[in-house]
Amino acid sequence: MDAAFVLYDRMTALDLVGPYEMLAQHPEINAHFVGARRGPVRADAGLELNATTTFDELPQPDLIVVPGSGFWSAVLEENDALVAWLAAAHPNATWTTSVCTGATLLAKAGILAGRPATTHWLARDLLGELGAVVSTDRVVVDGDVMTAAGVSAGLDMGLTLVARLFDEAQAMVVQLFTEYDPQPPFNAGSAEKAPAEVVEFARAFAAGR
C-alpha cells in the first residue's frame, strides 16, 4: 500500500507527522514523502522536511494525507501543482485525507463538493465557501474521504485510519506504542472550551496574520 504524505512550503509539521507516526511504521504501508520537487520544504515554524518523491513519480497512491498551514489563504494560492495532482489522484485512492486546513486544498481540487468535512476552527467559513458541508467534528469520515480538525486532530485521524485499513486491534497497538493517553494540562483545545479572552486573542492574531 503506497501512502503519499504530502509536503509543501509553510505546511504545519504536526498536521503531517501526527498521522505519519500512526501509519508509517506499519509493515504493509510504503510511506512516500511527496512534493512538487525533491528537497526541503520549510514548515510554518521553521522545521525543514524533505520531499523524496515528486507528484509526477507517484500518480496513483492508495492513501493520501494532506496537511494544513498556519498561512492557509496564501497556501491555497501557491500550490496549483498539488491541487492538480490531488484532483487526478483522488479517484484511484482508497483514502484521501486531510488534517487542519489541508481540507481547503482538497476542496479546491473538487474533492469535497457537497460533502461533509472538517478543518481548523478558524477556517470553517473558508471551507464552506469552497463548497464543503462544514462539520465541527474532530474527525469526519465520508466514503473514501477522511478529514480532521486542527493540527493535533491528525493523531485521532491516524488511529481511525489504521482501524479502517487494518483492524481495531492494530490501531490499539499503535496507540500503545505511541503512548497516546493524552493528558493536556489545560482545557482550552476548542473555541467552546477555552476562556473567551483566549479565543479572542487567537482570532485577532490569525486575522492580523
Contact set with a copy of itself (CB under 8 A): 5, 12-14, 17-18, 20-21, 24-25, 31, 33, 40, 44-50, 52, 70, 100, 120-121, 138-139, 149-153, 155-156, 159-160, 163, 168-169, 171-173, 175-186, 188-191, 193-195, 197-199, 201-202, 205
- The question of whether 169 is a catalytic residue gets the answer no
Q: Write down the least CB distance from residue 87 to a copy of itself, Å.
A: 25
Catalytic residue among 6, 16, 64, 100: 100
**Minimum CB distance to a copy of itself smaller for 24 or for 81:** 24
Q: Could you please report the per-residue DSSP string of 6-73?
A: E--TTB-HHHHHHHHHHHTTSTT-EEEEEESSSEEEE-TTS-EEEE-EEGGG-SS-SEEEE--BTTHH
Instruction: Tell me whether residue 114 or residue 181 sits nearer to a copy of itself (CB atom).
Output: 181
CB of 45 to a copy of itself, least distance (A): 4
The end-to-end CA distance of the chain, in Å, is 39
Q: Using the 8-state DSSP alphabet, how is residue 122 labeled?
A: G
Answer whether 120's CB lies under 8 Å from 102's CB.
Answer: no
Closer of 48 and 129 to a copy of itself (Cβ): 48
Least gap, CB of 110 to a copy of itself (angstroms): 26
Cell numbers linked to 184: 493536556
Of residues 114 and 179, the one with the C-beta less far from a copy of itself? 179
Question: Which residue's entry shows cell 458541508?
Answer: 133
Minimum CB–partner distance for residue 189 and a copy of itself (Å): 3
For 58: left if phi > 0, alpha if psi spans -120 to 50, otherwise beta; the answer is beta
Which residues are CB-contacts of 48 (< 8 A; sequence separation ≥ 6)?
Answer: 40, 41, 42
Catalytic residue numbers, as ranges: 100
